[in-house]
Amino acid sequence: MTTQMTLRIPDDLAEFIDQLSTAGAGSRATVVTQAVAWYRQRLQGEADARILEERGDYDDFDGLAAHSSIGD
């Protein structure tokens, strides 16, 4: 399901979105959707990091961390 939205953004960001789109990154909607999804992922990662920091060191995750990659 998708929701159509009308947004007002600064001209410089609109130009950047158009440049990305022209360079093959997809439609404006695709570029904005990916940007918001990446931002959501970043915020979730920061929240997870805070939880781990507050609860202490977890040595048993060292092996997993060595094989994981952010953003894949």
pLDDT digits (tens, 9 = 90+) for 9-66: 999 999 999 999 999 999 999 999 999 999 999 999 999 888 888 877 666 666 666 6
Q: Tell me, yes or no, whether 34 lies in a domain.
A: yes
Distance, in Å, from the CA atom of 39 to the CA atom of 48, rounded to the nearest integer, reads: 14
Residue 37: which domain range? 27-52
- Count of domains for the chain: 1
Is it the case that residue 70 has pLDDT exceeding 60? no
Token pair belonging to 31: 């570029």
Residue 31: closest CA among 46, 14, 43: 14
What per-residue confidence (pLDDT) applies to 48? 86
- Is residue 41 one of the residues assigned to a domain? yes
Q: According to the model, what pLDDT value does residue 62 have?
A: 67
User: What pLDDT does residue 52 have?
Assistant: 80
